[in-house]
Amino acid sequence: MRSAPAALVLGLLLSAAPGAHAACPVGLKLSVDNDTAGSGYSEVKPQNWVSHNVDACKGTYRYLSAYVGDGTRKGKAIWQPKITTAGMYEVTAGYRASTNRTNDADYTLFDDLGGSQKMSVDQTKGSGCTKAVIGTAYCSVGGSCRLVLDGDDGKSDAADETTFVLKSCDASDAGSGGPCDGIKAIASYELCTETPTTCAGLFNDASGCTAYCAAAGMICTARFGAAPGCVKEANAPIPCGANNAHGSDWCECTLPAGSGGATGSGGTSTGGTTAAGGEAGFPATAGSGGASAGAGGSGGGWTGTGSTVAKVDAGPNTKGGTTADDGGGCGCRMRPSSPERWGIALLALIAGLTRTRRRCPRPSH
Residue 338 identity: S
pLDDT at 34: 97
Torsion over CA: 328, 332, 338, 341 (sign): negative
**Are 110 and 168 spatial neighbours (Cβ–Cβ below 8 Å)?**
no
The H or E element that residue 13 is part of is helix 6-16
d(CA 101, CA 54): 14
Q: Give percent above pLDDT 90 in the chain.
A: 50
pLDDT at 340 over 80: no
Percent composition of the chain: helix, strand, coil (DSSP 3-state, to 5)? 15, 30, 55
Q: Phi/psi at 294 (nearest 5 deg)?
A: 55, -135
357: Cα within 13 Å, side-chain hemisphere:
14
pTM of whole model > 0.75? no
| Report for 4-18, 71-85, 322-336: range of highest mean pLDDT | 71-85
3-class secondary structure, 210? helix
| DSSP 8-class letter at 196 | S
pLDDT at 304 over 60: no
Q: Which residues pair with 116 in a beta bridge?
A: 110
Residue 198 identity: T
| DSSP 8-class letter at 220 | E
Residue 178 identity: G
